[in-house]
Amino acid sequence: MEAGNVIAGGAGAVGARAPSITIIGMGNTLMGDDGLGIFVVEGLNAEALGPGARVIAGNTAGMALLKYFLDSDVVIVIDACDAEAEPGAIFRFNPDEAGIMGLRSNNTHGMGLTYLVTSARLKGADPDVIVFAVQVESVNPRDRELSAPVAAAVERVRELVTEAAGRIGEEYTFAGFPLS
Express each pLDDT in 129-155 by its tens digit. 999 999 999 998 888 899 999 999 999
Instruction: Please state, for a pLDDT cut of 70, what percent of the chain lies above it.
Output: 77
Mean pLDDT calculated for residue range 18-43: 92
Smallest CA-to-CA distance from 107 within 129, 136, 86, 130 is with 136
The SS3 call for residue 122 is helix
Average pLDDT across the chain, whole number: 81
Q: How many angstroms separate the CA atoms of 89 and 141, rounded?
A: 21
Q: Tell me how many domains the chain contains.
A: 1
Q: How many angstroms separate the CA atoms of 141 and 122, rounded?
A: 36
Provide the total of helices (H) and of strands (E) in the chain, helices listed first: 5, 9
Q: How many angstroms separate the CA atoms of 141 and 156, rounded?
A: 25
The burial class, CB within 10 Å (0-12 / 13-18 / 19+), for 178 is: middle
Query: Predicted confidence band at 91 (pLDDT cuts at 50, 70, 90)?
Result: very high
Task: Please write the tens of the pLDDT for every residue from 155-167.
Answer: 999 999 999 998 8
Instruction: Residue 90: give the domain boundaries.
Output: 5-178
B/e letters for 90-119, b = 16+ CB within 10 Å, e = fewer, are bbbbbbeebebeeeeeeeebebbbbbbbee
Q: How many angstroms separate the CA atoms of 35 and 26, rounded?
A: 7
Q: Is the predicted pLDDT of residue 19 greater than 60, yes or no?
A: yes
Classify residue 23 as left (phi > 0), alpha (psi -120 to 50) or beta: beta
Where residue 9 sits, what CATH number does that domain have? 3.40.50.1450
Q: Do residues 137 and 87 make contact, with C-beta atoms less than 8 angstroms apart?
A: yes
Q: Is the predicted pLDDT of residue 92 greater than 60, yes or no?
A: yes
The pTM of the full predicted model, rounded to 2 decimals, is 0.81
